[in-house]
Amino acid sequence: GLSKLSDLYLSGCGVTHRAIKSLLEHDSLQTVDLQDTTVNDTALELLTQLDQLKLLVLTGTNVSTEAVQLARKKMINTRIIKL
């Protein structure tokens, strides 16, 4: 299975915040690239539950600057990129 999944690159995919919920069961995830997807603030709020995440790419998404700022406070060990 995908129990050791560490890096997930979904750039340009049709992933939505609903699909993000399924990522929460993967506690080995370290990198999630959601660049150029339609994820939003709801998806980011879910992703803040992934304490082990090292890198989260949100460039080209519908995530607001305010949501990114809040997430950075919760995810102190995660580099969040939103250009």
pLDDT at 7: 96
pLDDT at residue number 1: 61
pLDDT (0 to 100) of residue 17: 77
Entry pTM = 0.93
> CA 69 to CA 6: how far, in whole Å?
24
| Model pLDDT, residue 31 | 98
Residues of the chain with pLDDT under 70: 1-2
Position 52 scores a pLDDT of 95
- Taking the C-alpha atoms of residue 24 and residue 22, their distance in angstroms, rounded to an integer, is 5
